[in-house]
Amino acid sequence: MTRKPAVAIVGAGSLATFLAVALRQAGFTISEIVARDLPQSRRHARILAAKVGAQAVTAHSAALDANLLWFCVPDREIRRAAFALAGHLAARAAVHQKVMTRWALHSSGALSSCELDPLRKAGVAVASVHPLMTFVAGARPSLTGVPFALEGDAAAARAARRIVRELGGESFSLPAAHKAAYHAWATLTSPLLLAFLLTLEEAASAAGLATRQARRASLPIIRQTLANYSSLGPARSFSGPLVRGDAETVATHLAVLKKHPRAREVYLALARAALHGLPVKNRNGLKRLLRP
């Protein structure tokens, strides 16, 4: 690429909204927001299109005059959407209309670029490009330094790397065979971390703290733990009764959490994980206590 390609965004949800705005701010032209032909989908597409100076269209009405299609739809919808747009491109080619689309990307963390095979068969280079970041309504995370996992055709991957650089991110290659494991890791990193934080609130209720109070009280130690993990690594950041081998204290924790079985189950799972990977004293005594 000698200039920034025009981009059509397929989808109008949280990720599509974030990427469309970020791309526009980085100097890319957003030509179209392609949505399903449903009232709510079309409404979301119109709102997003107005933000980025694009046209809100459906697969049947899209001009597809962008150089790049970026699919930001649920995993189960990627192949269907790719099939619809590949048919649209083929119809244009059949009547000798110029096809501008050279690359297509999707942002599934779990699925490979093969989901875009209908477009690949139509002569479009395809790749999967997954940012290791969480995108939710009401939040505007920075993409500076965010890793993007890339996999797919060489031409599409080259285009994706340039776009990621323009967005401030960092790209790395990920073999298709590793995508499921990668996405499991990514899910542990944010969605299941939130599940753990929700468990903290349940455990705090055993100490008489209200949810908001527990959340506020937990944040300083959570932030410091993350800072320690970043600078010192997990082993040197580890503290508390397990590192001291204090089985008696752990036993009192398990006893009080019997009234909160979900929190107790999480406590046990994490304590057993600590025995395998962190510096723990009195390991045999703790193993007996934590035995399933």
Q: Is residue 56 part of a domain?
A: yes
Amino acid identity for residue 112 in this structure: S
The position carrying tokens 């320690």 is 228
For residue 1, pLDDT over 60 is answered with: no
CATH number of residue 138's parent domain: 3.40.50.720
Same domain, 119 and 199: no
Tell me, what's the pLDDT at 292? 83
- Residues 73 and 129 both lie in one domain: yes
Nearest to 154 by CA among 173, 168, 132: 173
Q: Dihedral of CA 226/232/238/240: which sign?
A: negative
Secondary structure E strands in 225-287 = none
Given a cut of 70, whether residue 2 has pLDDT beyond it is no
pLDDT in tens, 17-36: 999 999 999 999 999 999 99
Share of the chain above pLDDT 90, in %: 90
Domain edge (last residue) among 178, 208, 241: 178
Residue 186 lies in a domain: no
| Residue 37 shares a structural domain with residue 171 | yes
- Considering the domain architecture, whether residues 78 and 46 belong to the same structural domain is answered as yes
Nearest 5°: CA angle at 232, between 231 and 237?
A: 125
Q: What is the pLDDT of residue 99?
A: 75
- Contacts of residue 206, defined as CB under 8 A and 6 or more positions apart, other chains included, come to 256, 257, 259, 260, 263
Secondary structure (3-state) at 278: coil
Shared domain check, 231 and 164: no
Residues 211 and 161 reside in one and the same domain: no
Catalogue the long-range contacts made by 109-113 (C-beta closer than 8 Å, 24 or more residues apart).
Answer: 109/149, 109/179, 109/182, 109/183, 109/186, 110/75, 110/179, 110/180, 110/183, 111/75, 111/78, 111/179, 112/151, 112/152, 112/176, 112/179, 113/151, 113/152, 113/153, 113/156, 113/176
Statement to judge: residues 43 and 159 lie in one domain: yes
pLDDT at 147 over 70: yes
| Judgement on whether residues 196 and 51 belong to the same structural domain of the protein | no
Could you tell me which of 225, 236, 147, 170 has the C-alpha nearest to residue 193? 225
pLDDT tens column, 221-249: 999 999 999 999 999 999 999 999 999 99
Answer whether residue 215 is part of any domain.
yes
- 59 is in which domain, residue-wise? 7-178
> Is 150 found in the same domain as 45?
yes
**Residue 106 and residue 156 in contact, taking contact as beta carbons nearer than 8 Å:** no
- Interval 119-134 mean pLDDT: 96
Q: Is residue 1 part of a domain?
A: no
Banded pLDDT at 58 (limits 50, 70, 90):
very high
- The answer as to whether 141 is a domain residue is yes
Q: Place 83 in a pLDDT band, splitting at 50, 70 and 90.
A: very high
Confidence of residue 137 (pLDDT cuts 50, 70, 90): confident
Indicate whether 157 and 208 sit together in one domain. Answer: no
154 and 23, same domain (yes or no): yes
Answer whether residue 184 is part of any domain: no
Count of alpha carbons within 13 Å of 106, Cβ hemisphere only?
Answer: 26
* Domain's final residue, options 149, 178, 207: 178
Phi and psi angles of residue 101, each rounded to the nearest 5 degrees, phi first: -75, 120
Which residue, 207, 206, 190, 192, is CA-closest to 261?
206
Q: Is residue 183 part of a domain?
A: no
What average pLDDT does range 269-276 have in this prediction? 96
The tally of domains found in the chain comes to 2
Residue partners of 145: CB distance under 8 A and separation at least 6:
168, 169, 170
Mean pLDDT of 61-80: 95
| The overall pTM is greater than 0.85 | yes
Query: Are 59 and 134 part of one and the same domain?
Result: yes
Q: Considering the domain boundaries, does residue 185 fall inside one? A: no
